[in-house]
Amino acid sequence: MHVGFTMDMRNPHGRPWRDHWEDCLHLMCEAEAMGFDYVMVQEHFFQPDGYAPSVPIFLTMLAERTRTIRIGSYVYILPLHHAAMLAQETAVLDHVSEGRLDVTVGSGHSAAEYHALGYSPKTRPSRMQEGLEVLKLAWTQRPFSYSGRYYDLKDVTVAPAPLQQPHPPLWVAATAPPAARRAGRMGANLHGASVDPEFHQAYFEGLAEAGVERDQVRVSNPWAITVTDENPDAVWERRKDLIFERWDFYRRIRDEMGDPDLQYGLAPTPEAYRDYEIIGDADTVIGTLEGLVKGLPLTDIVHSGPAGGTPPEEAYEDLKRFADRVLPTLKSW
């Protein structure tokens, strides 16, 4: 099992931005020494708590501050980028990182982000499909041409070519079966967020359409994990407001999107999200994850990191306990 680490880099307490970002980057760099396989930077736009801004800036800083760990996006919201420009940006990052880059793209869940950039949220699936096609062409053909609903490109050359050939590993993030099937049809790895068998079956059906064997791809699922020597209820009480904001953000933006496939159906109270967090000692965490992973076609587990606003020292100690006491077991699965 491969194990990755990500964090949302929210700043709910309004700390000086540079101090806050340095603490986040320090934790992500420490993940290299702790034995994680990769670290990933998230993306959102126009959030008051600074949720995940400027993926290329932070990936560049990680590339310069680490040596062996793979780095990547989690995720570029592909329909809100020009896919050919994103191909060029990631090709440069691939060279800067000396071939350690993975690229994850997704369609996003925030209607407000689409509206702010002048797009209709209803076009998410079609923009995502064309974006994936253009991205792969721009990475692999020089020059390339493409004519579609959103792109009309003729004899465009993206240079440099990516260092990794034919291109950096491509992952597609998905939470619902239609998006998982699209990922499979593109022959991409899947960063999923569902334990529903129908979700994974849709992905494998997409792979079959593309003629791609299962053993050629990787599949992940994220979990929010806290390894602690304290009473888990005490940790929950101390952090429940931060944890509530972590999860209720997604409830709000998905409700605004109006897509029933994306809606949680949960009440907007901290207690509604208690089971979304795995909190306990190492044996409890391992046992819980083993029960969740059993029967799923996973090759990867993504540690979602501490909820935004967790004090830096506390976040580090949490991650170190996970790395020392849980990570070796997960990597042996």
pLDDT over threshold 80, residue 260 = no
Q: Taking the domains of the chain in order of start, what are their residue ranges?
A: 2-227+296-332
**CA nearest to 37, candidates 1, 9, 87:** 1
Classified by CATH at the fold level, domain 2-227+296-332 comes out as TIM Barrel (3.20.20)
pLDDT confidence of residue 281: 98
Q: 208: which residues sit within 8 A by CB, 6+ positions away? A: 184
How many residues does this entry show for the chain? Answer: 333
pLDDT value, residue 151:
98
Share of the chain above pLDDT 70, in %: 99
257 dihedral zone (left: phi>0; alpha: psi -120 to 50; beta):
alpha
Q: pLDDT band for position 264 (50/70/90)?
A: low
Q: What confidence score (pLDDT) does residue 110 get?
A: 93
Mean pLDDT of the region 16-37 = 98
Q: Give Cβ neighbours of residue 192 (< 8 Å, ≥ 6 apart).
A: 173, 174, 175, 180, 199, 200, 203, 219, 220, 221
Read off φ and ψ for residue 207, nearest 5 degrees: -60, -40
Residue with tokens 């990922």: 183
- CA dist., res. 131 & res. 302, Å (int): 25
- What confidence score (pLDDT) does residue 53 get? 83
In this model, does residue 257 exceed pLDDT 90?
A: no
| Chain segment 78-128, per-residue pLDDT in tens | 999 999 999 999 999 999 999 999 999 999 999 999 999 999 999 999 999
Which position has the token pair 């929950």?
Answer: 236
> For residue 245, is it left (φ>0), alpha (ψ between -120 and 50) or beta?
alpha
Report the pLDDT value the prediction gives residue 79, as an integer from 0 to 100: 98
**Residue-wise pLDDT tens digits, 232-251:** 999 999 999 999 999 999 88
Q: How far is CA 91 from CA 27, 97, 101, 163, 259, in A?
A: 26, 10, 9, 7, 34
Q: 0.75 exceeded by the pTM?
A: yes
Residues 187-222 have pLDDT tens digits of 999 999 999 999 999 999 999 999 999 999 999 999
State how far the Cα of 287 lies from the Cα of 252, in Å rounded to an integer: 31
Task: Give the chain's mean pLDDT.
Answer: 96
Confidence grade of residue 68 (pLDDT, cut at 50, 70, 90): very high
pLDDT of 300 above 70:
yes
